[in-house]
Structure 1
Amino acid sequence: MTASEKHYTSRSRISRPVDIVFEADAYGQIIKSNIINYSSSVPIAQLSIFGLLVIGTVNLTNSLTLVALHTSTQNAEDTLTRFWVQEEVPNSDNHLYTYDEQYCEDRLKKTHSRDSTGRHIVRIPLKTSVEILGDSQNTVHRYLQSLIRRFSKDGNYCQHYQQFITEYEELKHMKRASSVSHHQTHYYLLHHSILEPDSATIGLRIVLNGSSVSTSGHSINNIMHTGGNLNPESSDVLIWIR
């Protein structure tokens, strides 16, 4: 028995974890010419750039071999289990809501309904009474005058804006206001528009500005509870891409 054979025999009785797994196409790049072969009934030892590789059939009556195989299989299963646990998407049921988020969830369940056309209806989750809102008419009026001046200078913008307002009203996302009573609180929701002439789907986009403050220093956003973040988690997006 040569010195290299003695070295192989002594190390083969030691159970070791699996460090790395190669695909078959990488086999030819890592092996060397040295082969240790006792007989056809036992595996051979193939020298590689990482050391000796044991290749071949296994005698199941050999207790030492059984221990080695069991250990390697168990390590592989543990590694695979840890991988899937790490990659598993967190369960949304375990999400801990803040006070505002929980209030919005409860408010939605209590007030949500659907009308005869199938439209969803839900009450706004207000923190306090709308009575604390001051006058916002002057602010909106100034912006309207600025908008009219832009219409006179840009006919394309005026056309897109009129189309949007008409469609918004036809879809019943808004309705014309009746005569305003000075004895009641009214908050005018300011908005601005973004013209995207190169867009294939949306030429004009309207952005509602609920942060515009009234004369009392409050806006509609100030007196509303903030619900949970509806955007997907970055980890979820990455897993979907994969």
Structure 2
Amino acid sequence: MPKNIKLADPDFHVPSSIDLLIGAEIFWQLLCIGQIKRSDEHPILQKTHFGWLITGKIVTSQNLRRSTHHCYASISNNELDNKLSQFWSTKNYSDRQPYTADEKVCEEHFLQTIQRNSQGRFIVKLPIKEGRLIQLGKSIAIKRFYAFERKLHRQSALKQEYSDFISEYLSLGHMRKIEDNHDMITPHYYLPHHAVMKHSSSTTKLRVVFDGSCKANSGVY
């Protein structure tokens, strides 16, 4: 090491914690004119505003032991063509299994009901198995509502919140009352629901949850 050199980190060769990370936007502003390289076996000394830095490659005994490996590969155009043909034959995705009966019905339903609205969104009617609609009913919904009604009688605040919600649903047109002479021959289904109270909420403390995944007595949903 030249005697007139003042290193930015005199203990650069001793592992220690990092003091400062410098980004590339100011790194080049720290460099000064001055660089020393004695030989190919020595690292480079670079002058900076912090002092001289030692950088570059350090030659060790491992670097001196070099070995050379030679590889040779040869293939003809015919062999390459055959290999490519075999590759594409195994990657042929055009052969697919035939649709099942339900998949065919879904595809036909999709093609018949798909449309695009004025906002550019695609709309598709939900597929329904018409033959199983008759198996739906209202027994589970009524059973759950009776249990929920007993809870309302015990909690007056919850009852008031729930009544206000039902009244708002009626006024907004989200639901309507079914008359006694309603045609019950057509397929129908009563969606079970229950109320959830969140006292910590600053706006709406009651939220009504509709259980759309509830199965009917027949196991249909």
TM (normalized to structure 2)? 0.49
Kindly indicate whether structure 1 or structure 2 has the higher relative contact order, using CA contacts under 8 Å at least 6 residues apart: 1
Which structure's residues are more often helix, by fraction?
Answer: 1
Work out which of the two has the higher radius of gyration on C-alpha atoms and give 1 or 2.
2
Q: TM-score, normalization: structure 1? A: 0.45
